[in-house]
Amino acid sequence: MPPTPQRRRLARGLAAGAAVLATAAGVTLTTTAPPAGADSGRAHHPAGTVDVQLLSFNDFHGNLEPPQGSSGTVEELQADGTKKTVPAGGVEYLAQSLRTARKGHPYSVTAAAGDMIGASPLLSGLFHDEPTIEAMNKLGLDVTSVGNHEFDEGRTELTRMQRGGCHPKDGCYEKGKTFKGADFPYLAANVTDDRTGKPILKPYTVWQHKGVKIGFIGVTLKGTPDIVNADGVKGLTFHGEVETINKYAKILDRQGVKAIVALIHEGGLPASTSYNANCDSPGPGAGISGPIVDIAKHVSPTVDALVTGHTHQSYTCTIPDPAGHPRTVTSAASYGRLYTDTTLTYDRRTHDIVRTAVHGPHAANHVVDRTQPKAADMTSLIARWNKLAAPVADKPVGYISADINGRGAGTPEEPLGDVIADAQLAATQDTGKGGAQLALMNPGGIRSDLAYKASGTEGDGVVTYAEAFTVQPFTNMTNVVDLTGAQLLTALQQQVSGPNEASPKILQISRGLTYTLDMTKTGAARVVADSVKLDGAALDPAKTYRVAMNEFLAGGGDGFPALKQGTNKYVGPSDLDALTAYLTAHSSPSSPLSPPKADRITVVK
């Protein structure tokens, strides 16, 4: 059945077997990608070829409604060198953008690079992300890799997202309706079951249309177990991205599928924060760093393009493959604010993507702007789920005098991070409730900002339960544990050393804890040891302190093994309940909460 503009079908990939030992065919042609923002279409291409449009995005995280605050904008570089902030995102606009982009393209496939669900706002998260899967079905997603957040609720729930069925505890949400699951395959090539040794979901799939075949291999980052709760990945092994992609590239090649795209939930950090900046200036891949660079340099040349994610950054870069030839590596920020349009020229004779200096994959990121018409079916979907969520979502839980920035702060210490740490301390500091003396919060668990502007009809400055849920969607339980001063100092040093040295994870800290972070130094030395104080007193290495944090951090998550050494554990309320209780207790319509100064960590640059 030929594809339609709204819903293309993916051919079922053959079941994965053992790695094929034959050498994969090497690509000897080259490709050149233009600067981001360049036209993805071309007027001339070789005889016997067709242009395949690859539309892609990543890290949607259930953002069905336009995200609030900085999470709902992108930075656009202007011709005169200035930068403009553009509102973006929302599934009504994402669906419309993709449908518009497909017009005039008989060969079009839509793919994603993981984290479609998990860490979602209340509209999706309250219903275990069923609304997002339904939306992805409607907008025509053909295939996605899994990401780390697909494992937030464990393997069984991820399998339900794929296959359908009502939630085992919460049941069905709409009378007479059973969740049907994803129409598209979730690919998990590098995630295997410890009992069987086989991938837990399909490792690859093949998209076909009128004789054109393109294979998709999907992987998540190998380090997924380090950044999700242990229960979510129990009994699973996460293999290396490169070795897995190369293994299945050989299998696809032996099956006669020569055109291959890798969907990788791992990414990079571009030099520019503007979505349309030229990543390849002054040279190929010069404007990007991070894990994806090394991955791209080692993935087999038989793979023609890499669609990436995880870092929530935007880029269309050219990074040389192992044969030394340029290859397109893309990412479309997050939350549905951008989509990438890549043109792959398919040669019907070789069944491969043409990769030459003149005819290579052309990729550009495009804004999902909110000035275009809304997709009516998505408006209807949002209204339907909002009606179910309203009794919980619309309840006011606090009041603020201005934006309190979290994820969008762009600084090591975030104002909203201070609020969350203070909230966890307040919830657990009483003797009978844990006796906490300080609290720590991981920055990755702060998913948004608290915006002053109303998201609905509640009025400016009102924080609703839904808005608080968007900030703290995991509902991790707070833990209070005993840590020595020496262990606490080691934890602070782990923010900027070991696995976190290249990309520091600065813990958000409660009032009373202060220290200096010297970024001119390297590794653990960045934390000035004798500057660490609690309520003005120097940290005593031999003294025991009661420290509050969420259960993910208490388990050593995000590269903090020192925190796993905590003893005498007390389990308090969820992080979300702690935040809402704090907002309610510390604000009112006449006395709203003001953004903290975020001056607990002194940063030396």
Beta pairing partners, 143 = 111
What is the average pLDDT across 266-278?
Answer: 95
3-state class (DSSP) for residue 205: strand
What amino acid occupies position 80? D
Residue 578: predicted pLDDT: 98
**How far is Cα 385 from Cα 382, in angstroms, rounded to an integer?**
5
> Sorting pLDDT into bands at 50, 70 and 90, what band is 428?
very high
Q: Is it true that the peptide bond before 443 is cis, omega within 30 degrees of 0? A: no
CA dihedral sign of residues 10, 300, 225, 579? negative
**How far is Cα 22 from Cα 431, in angstroms, rounded to an integer?**
66
Looking at 41-45, 387-391, 399-403, which range is the least confident one? 41-45
Angle between helices 91-102 and 376-393 (to 10 degrees): 170
Determine contact, residues 524/492, Cβ cutoff 8 Å: no
Per the structure block, which two tokens stand in for 207? Answer: 């998209």
**How far is Cα 141 from Cα 216, in angstroms, rounded to an integer?**
13
b vs e for 95-112, b when ≥16 Cβ sit within 10 Å of the residue's Cβ? bbbbeebbeebebbbbbb
**How far is Cα 48 from Cα 5, in angstroms, rounded to an integer?**
23
**How far is Cα 543 from Cα 373, in angstroms, rounded to an integer?**
61
How many percent of the chain have pLDDT more than 90? 87
Give the model confidence (pLDDT) of 490-541 as tens digits. 999 999 999 999 889 999 999 999 999 999 999 999 999 999 999 999 999 9
Determine contact, residues 417/406, Cβ cutoff 8 Å: yes
Per the structure block, which two tokens stand in for 355? Answer: 């990769």
**How far is Cα 392 from Cα 490, in angstroms, rounded to an integer?**
41
Residue 34: predicted pLDDT: 34
**How far is Cα 113 from Cα 188, in angstroms, rounded to an integer?**
11
> Sorting pLDDT into bands at 50, 70 and 90, what band is 5?
very low
**How far is Cα 450 from Cα 596, in angstroms, rounded to an integer?**
13
Residues 6+ apart with CB under 8 A from 587: 398, 399, 400, 463, 593
> Sorting pLDDT into bands at 50, 70 and 90, what band is 286?
confident
What amino acid occupies position 274? S
3-state secondary structure 269-293: EECCCECCCCCCCCCCCCCEECHHH
Give the model confidence (pLDDT) of 77-111 as tens digits. 999 999 999 999 999 999 999 999 999 999 999 99
Residue 4: predicted pLDDT: 38
Per the structure block, which two tokens stand in for 413? Answer: 């210490």
Per the structure block, which two tokens stand in for 37? Answer: 């923002």
Give the model confidence (pLDDT) of 140-160 as tens digits. 999 999 999 999 999 999 999
Determine contact, residues 175/143, Cβ cutoff 8 Å: no
Model-level pTM? 0.89
CB atoms within 10 A of CB 467: 27
**Where does residue 356 rank: exposed (0-12), middle (13-18), buried (19+ CB within 10 A)?**
middle
Report CA 130 to chain centroid distance, whole Å: 18
**How far is Cα 490 from Cα 356, in angstroms, rounded to an integer?**
51
Question: Would the pLDDT of 455 be above 50?
Answer: yes
β-bridge pairing 533-534 and 537-538 = antiparallel
Element at 415 (helix H, strand E): helix 415-428
Residue of 114, 87, 102 whose CA lies nearest to 368:
87
Looking at 8-17, 180-189, 403-412, which range is the least confident one? 8-17
What amino acid occupies position 531? S
**How far is Cα 216 from Cα 282, in angstroms, rounded to an integer?**
31
How many percent of the chain have pLDDT more than 70? 92
**How far is Cα 57 from Cα 43, in angstroms, rounded to an integer?**
25
Higher pLDDT, 173 or 408: 173
Residue of 477, 516, 496, 485 whose CA lies nearest to 559:
496
Residue 408: predicted pLDDT: 86
> Sorting pLDDT into bands at 50, 70 and 90, what band is 282?
confident
What is the average pLDDT across 406-413?
Answer: 92
